[in-house]
Structure formats: structure tokens, C-alpha cells
Amino acid sequence: MKILFPETHHNGFHTAVTTPIINKTIMKKVLLIMSLIVSGSTVHAQQTMSPELLWKVERISVKGLDKEGSNILIEVKTPNIEENNFDSKFYKLPVNGGDLIAISKDELNAKDKNVSPDGNYTLFHDEVAIENIKGSDVYKNLDKSEAYIFSDLDIRHWDTWQDGKYNHVFYKKVGTENTDGTDLMPNEPHHTPQRPFGGDEDYIWSPDGKDIYYVSKKLKGKAYATSTNTDIYKYNLASKTTTNITEDNKGYDTHPALSSQGALAWLQMKTDGYEADKNDIVVLNNGVKQNLTDRWDGTVNSFLWSNDGNDIYFTAPIDGTVQIFKVNYPDKKRIAPVVEQLSEGQFDITSIIVQKDHTLLVTRTDMNHAAEIFSFNLKDNSFKALTNINQKLYDSIELPKVEKRYVTTTDGKQMLVWVILPPNFDASKKYPTLLYAQGGPQSALSQFYSYRWNFQLMASHGYIVVAPNRRGMPGHGVEWNEAISKDWGGQVMDDYLSAIDAIAKEPYVDNDRLGAVGASYGGYSVFYLAGIHNKRFKTFISHDGVFDTRTMYGTTEELFFVNHDFGAPYWDKNNKAAQKVYNEFNPITKVSAWDTPILIIQGGKDYRVPIEQGLSAYQAAQLLGIKSKLLYFPEENHWVLKPQNALVWQNEFFKWLKETL
């Protein structure tokens, strides 16, 4: 990514030294700047990360390999604040390393996985109108009606309402001018790709081009809303028949991929309704299914077949990071698969792009650096950076220090805690400190690089950040990951307090200036801690947090999630675990104890944690007379994606901390 950073110091300096200087004030400024250079302390070296700099970081996206397989094709996106969108540039990078070569969008001659192996057909997906849900569809003479008419569930998802249209996969002859093709699921009210985040990874060709494999959740209404049972289907072109490959599994089946030898692998979760279940790699070959990772105490993020089809490389969270692993595929040999961790370090492997000879091409981040492309040598397990698009930016700023600590929990476990220290940290000083509560709730708190919850930015504003890998996070074994379900306000809250209490013992932590911040489940955590923190914290920030578990159950679009994590509907009085979630573990029941300033942030199109959660919390804080502020984004969903909104978010975040901490 190319870095854009303020040039004012460069321009002023060069103008001053290359033109005749008469004014004594200007001369003094020049001498001062030169003295700084001589002392080795340049103006740029004094910078720290700011919201404006963060939103100049360029973002790398791999589009695939070119048709010859010799270059990685890359899109680089740069936030355009003025236009409130992103500008794109395109490059190719030799797979063996070298310089980035700028190309036009038309030169993105990527190998097209959607073209059949024989080159005769191409796959694509498009929306198909199947059901009449909108008033204008039901009443043709009322074409300006904005009504929606529902008689079952699955009425909205993520940030859109169900409008009767579904994603379907088609195939057609290569070279056909129009978009018409053969629909693999004619008249079916089911989605492929899956909404809201699915893409063309949800459908692939068989190696002989005779079959198409695709992912779909072929359920309807309440069954769709309460289940995670996606399956992998095989569609035969000759017979136009469809076979359910994973009918025996009732949880998620996703990401089908075929080896060079024709074996089909996919990711599988076993438990229906449990979106954070252990994710395994399953292989089907000649009618024989084999789970390669079921005996391994971890969960898979993504995978890639080796070129020879004998191994699978995959990424998985481990001990607060995301690393590269390998598992062998024994096929019919009577040997058990063996999982081996290949990489190790304080970083996240965010994707495995391709294998090239004895190297893997991957993307990698850490808390101080956005994604770049690296090669990973499979012979000696070493990395080599292939891109450094934002290097100029990082060279111009002082970086925080990221430390890995372990804290003993109230039940005697060792919990990993990331501690991020401000740039130019001085242990003789005292610093305000933030407890960061991760969302999910079962998502890894690893070496990710966020453009909103950016630890580098928080630390650069002078705050120590304490980020515990509390109960419910993958990367510490399946039992640790599962421990949070139905126990949202239990051991995990003790984990949070154990982390902040342990780090607060350090002499450089200002115990009179502690805050807690988080989003989603992290926002729930903030609301809950606000009622039980016993005056530990001086301020809170909650973004799209669950405030009332009862209304959360009644309005969230991801019903299967609350069914699993809460245990049952709120009206099921016989389910003791669920009743504990709706009563004892419900933040709204502890509002009378709130006594601390709180900033509440809410997205208007967040249907996962809908708007009444944030509005109810804000109204309660206002009526209690607590210093509080509402930051509302009408057009944002569970995230904040528009550049100008993101800058407002960052500026209000730090303005609030300055006022209250």
C-alpha cells in the first residue's frame, strides 16, 4: 500500500533551505530544524498514529494469480475522505518477489476459477425474484407502496430486509453476451452465495467440469432463522440433478475446495445453531469421508490444499495469534492425520493465497501493521516480506510496544493478556489505562489490525490498553472457547476484572484513570461492568452493545445465536440457565447501580444488535443523571464503514476519553 502522509514539514523545510532567507524569524526556524536533524530527532520521528493518519493507511486485497501463475494480482484501496469512499489502484507482484508493477483494472487477467476446466462454461451468481413480499409486488396497482408483508420469520439479515429476492448460481456458455444462464436452484427460496458475506467461494467446478459444488442453507422461515445447517450440494450438468453431499451433518458446512487429485475438502461445524462451534476440515474421496482435525484441540479459520494433494495448510488461532498449520491427508492409508504448527510469532496470518514450489504466499498483520504479503518457506519455516506498502508511514511514526502477559484468573487458570504501551513509554510515569472488551463473543483477540478498534491508535493517544483473552475466545482449546455460552455475566466478568486488577498493580498505571471500552459482546460487557465494577472505572464506551437480553432475543435477526448462547427464549421459565441470562446476567437489571460517565454508540442499520439496545441504555443513563453521550450512525450497520463516519467515530471516542479520563 502506498502511504500518504502530511508533507507540510518536508515542504516547509525544503523551501526554507533552497530560497534566499532574509527574515530573521525564518532563519531561526531553519536553524532549529537543522539542530533537530543533527541531534537525530526529526519532525516525522515525533509523530504518533492519529485518526487522520489511520485513515490514510492503504489496504491490500489479493485478487488472485494471473493466468500464467507467475504474478499475484493486487488491489490497493485508499480512503478518500472528501468523496467518503475508497480509491483503488492495481498492481502485479512476481510470486518469487520483486517490485510492484502498476497495472490498469483491465489488466487484471486473473485465472478465473469460475470458468469450467474445459473452458466451455462459466459460473456466476445473480439475484432472482422468487417471493412477493413488498406491497408493490403484492398489489401491482400500488407500485409506490413501501410496505413489507411477512407471515413467517427470516424477515431481515445483518443490514437488509428480506425483499423476496435470493442469490442463485447460474452457468452459461463462455462467450454468451447476455446474462441468461441455467439456474442451479430454479424457484428455490434459498441463497447461494450465503448472505450477508458469501461470495463466489461458495461455488466451484469439479476437476472434470461435469459437476458444480455449491453451499446453501435450504431451509425456510423459522427453520432458517433458528438453524446454521448449511450444506454442500453437487449439481450434475448432464442430468441436471442435485445431491446433498453433507446431509448427515446438521451444522455449518462451508468453503468447498478440491485437491489436484479430485478429493473434496470443506469446513464443518457439527452443532446446529452454534455459529462458533469447533471448525474441522473434512475430506470426501471416492465415497469415504474423513475428519482430519477432529482430534486436534483447536478450530480452523481457512485452508488450502497442497499442490500434490497430500497435505492441507490451514490457519487457526493459537495463544493470542493466528498461525499456519499443516495436516496430512492419509486417504485410505491406515494412519491417523497429524496436525503440525508451522509458523510462530507475534502476528496473525490472515490468509494463505497460494503454494508456489516450497513456499506459501500469505498475508500477515500485527497490532502495529496493516496487512502485507509475505512468502513462507516450507523448508525452514521462515518469512520474507514481499510488500511494504505502508512502510513510509510506519517509518514516520513512533510505534507502541505490545507485550504478552499471563494473569491468574479467579479459578486458577493462566489467561493471556495483551498489554499495549504508548510510544516512547516511560515506566517512571503514570498512564491512563483502558480495559478492552472483545466482541464475538467467541472471536479471537489476536494480532489483528482494525481500522476502528485500533490499539496502535489508542496507545498513541497516551493510553495503556489491556486486552485479555478472556473465557470464550478460540486459540486456547475448545473448552475455553465454549465456556462463555449461557454464562455471559459469569466467569468471563471475573476474567476481565482479574486482568485489569493485575495490570493496575504496575506502578505506571494510574488507578484513578481506568476506563472500559468495547463493541457487540464487548459493548454488553461494558454495560454489565458499569453495574458491578465497584468504582474501578472512571469512564465507559459501549458500541452496539447488548443492553437487555430479553429485547435482544425479541429483535435480533440471528435467532440461532441467542437460542444457543442464551439457552432458550425468555418465556421458558423452566430453563434455569436461560433465566439466569435474562435476569442475573442482564445489564438492564443492574442499571440502578450505574454511577459512571458513559458514551453509547449505535448503528441505525444494525439488525444483529438492534437500535433499541443503544437507545434504551442512553435513555436510562440520561434519566439517572449520569454524564452520557449518544453517537448515532443512521446508515451504518454493526460496523462503521464510511470514511467520514469512521473519522467522526475516532474523534468522538478520544474526545470522550479526554473529557472523562
> β-strand 401-408 against 382-385: which pairing, if any?
unpaired
Q: Are residues 652 and 542 in the same domain?
A: yes
Q: DSSP readout, 105-155?
A: GGG--B--TTB-TTSSEEEEEEEEE----BHHHHSTT-TT---B--SSS--
- pLDDT at residue number 332: 79
| Residues paired with residue 634 on neighbouring β-strands, in sequence order | none
Among the listed ranges 24-38, 281-295, 434-448, which one has the minimum average pLDDT value? 24-38
| DSSP 8-class letter at 336 | -
Q: Are residues 138 and 246 in the same domain?
A: yes
Amino acid letter for position 449: Y
- pLDDT at residue number 25: 42
For 232-245, what is each residue's pLDDT tens digit?
A: 999 999 999 999 99
State how many domains the chain has: 2
Q: Is residue 59 part of a domain?
A: no
Q: Using DSSP, state whether 476 is helix, strand or coil.
A: coil
- pLDDT at residue number 287: 93
Cα 529 to Cα 537: distance, rounded to the nearest angstrom: 9
Q: Is residue 32 part of a domain?
A: no
For residue 118, what is the domain's CATH number? Answer: 2.140.10.30
Cα 437 to Cα 440: distance, rounded to the nearest angstrom: 10
Q: Which three cell numbers stand for residue 169?
A: 448460481
Cα 22 to Cα 16: distance, rounded to the nearest angstrom: 10
For residue 550, what is the domain's CATH number? Answer: 3.40.50.1820
Query: Is 609 in contact with 556 (CB distance < 8 Å)?
Result: yes
Tally Cβ neighbours within 10 Å of residue 365: 19
Looking at 520, 525, 616, 628, which residue is catalytic? Answer: 520
Q: Are residues 339 and 441 in the same domain?
A: no
Q: How confident is the model at residue 270 (pLDDT cuts 50, 70, 90)?
A: very high
Cα 447 to Cα 318: distance, rounded to the nearest angstrom: 11
Q: Are residues 202 and 305 in the same domain?
A: yes
Q: Are residues 139 and 214 in the same domain?
A: yes
| Residues paired with residue 62 on neighbouring β-strands, in sequence order | 74
Looking at 311, 606, 616, 628, which residue is catalytic? Answer: 606
- pLDDT at residue number 46: 64
Q: Is residue 381 part of a domain?
A: no
Range 442-448 average pLDDT: 97
Residue that finishes a domain, picked among 284, 315, 345: 345
Q: Are residues 337 and 423 in the same domain?
A: no
- 351 pLDDT exceeds 90? yes
Q: Which three cell numbers stand for residue 589?
A: 437489571
Q: Is residue 251 part of a domain?
A: yes
Residue that finishes a domain, picked among 321, 345, 369: 345
Cα 231 to Cα 254: distance, rounded to the nearest angstrom: 7
Range 456-479 average pLDDT: 98
Whether residue 168 lies in the annotated active site: no
Range 321-344 average pLDDT: 94
For 85-107, what is each residue's pLDDT tens digit?
A: 999 999 999 998 899 999 999 99
Q: How confident is the model at residue 559 (pLDDT cuts 50, 70, 90)?
A: very high
| Residues paired with residue 631 on neighbouring β-strands, in sequence order | 601
Residue that finishes a domain, picked among 345, 363, 380: 345
Q: Are residues 237 and 337 in the same domain?
A: yes
Cα 458 to Cα 465: distance, rounded to the nearest angstrom: 7
For 122-132, what is each residue's pLDDT tens digit?
A: 999 999 999 99
Q: Which three cell numbers stand for residue 9?
A: 514539514
- The pLDDT mean for the chain works out to 92
For 195-224, what is each residue's pLDDT tens digit?
A: 999 999 999 999 999 999 999 999 999 999
Range of the domain at 555: 397-660
Taking CA atoms, 155 is separated from 217, 220, 565, in Å, by 16, 11, 21
Q: Are residues 466 and 578 in the same domain?
A: yes
Percent of the chain past pLDDT 90, that is, above it, reads 90
Peptide bond into 432 cis (omega under 30): no
- pLDDT at residue number 213: 98
Q: Is residue 6 part of a domain?
A: no
Q: Are residues 220 and 324 in the same domain?
A: yes
Range 256-283 average pLDDT: 97
- pLDDT at residue number 135: 97
Between 18 and 539, the more confident residue is 539
Tally Cβ neighbours within 10 Å of residue 429: 11
Amino acid letter for position 157: H
Q: Are residues 201 and 321 in the same domain?
A: yes
- pLDDT at residue number 250: 98
- pLDDT at residue number 657: 98
Q: Are residues 188 and 318 in the same domain?
A: yes
> β-strand 598-603 against 539-543: which pairing, if any?
parallel
Range 151-162 average pLDDT: 96
Q: How confident is the model at residue 180 (pLDDT cuts 50, 70, 90)?
A: confident
Burial class (CB in 10 A: 0-12, 13-18, 19+), 542: buried
Q: Is residue 263 part of a domain?
A: yes
The kind and range of the H/E element at 653 are: helix 643-660
For 583-613, what is each residue's pLDDT tens digit?
A: 999 999 999 999 999 999 999 999 999 999 9
Cα 515 to Cα 513: distance, rounded to the nearest angstrom: 7
- pLDDT at residue number 327: 98
245: left (phi over 0), alpha (psi -120 to 50) or beta: alpha
Please, what's the b/e burial string for 589-609 (b: 16 or more CB within 10 A of its CB; e: otherwise)?
A: bbbeebebbbbbbbbebbbbb
Specify the residue for cell string 490444499. Answer: 305
Tally Cβ neighbours within 10 Å of residue 243: 12
Taking CA atoms, 132 is separated from 135, 170, 443, in Å, by 8, 22, 37
Q: Are residues 341 and 401 in the same domain?
A: no
Query: Is 250 in contact with 229 (CB distance < 8 Å)?
Result: yes
Cα 314 to Cα 349: distance, rounded to the nearest angstrom: 10
Q: Is residue 558 part of a domain?
A: yes
Q: DSSP readout, 393-440?
A: HHHHBPPPEEEEEEEE-TTS-EEEEEEEEPTT--TTS-EEEEEEE--T
Please, what's the b/e burial string for 289-317 (b: 16 or more CB within 10 A of its CB; e: otherwise)?
A: ebebbeebebbbbbbbbbeebebbbbbbb
| Residues paired with residue 282 on neighbouring β-strands, in sequence order | 266, 291
Whether residue 606 lies in the annotated active site: yes
**Residue 359: which of 371, 374, 348 has the closest Cα?**
374
For 61-82, what is each residue's pLDDT tens digit?
A: 999 999 988 999 999 999 999 9
Q: Is residue 484 part of a domain?
A: yes
For 361-414, what is each residue's pLDDT tens digit?
A: 999 999 999 999 999 999 999 999 999 999 999 999 999 999 999 999 999 999
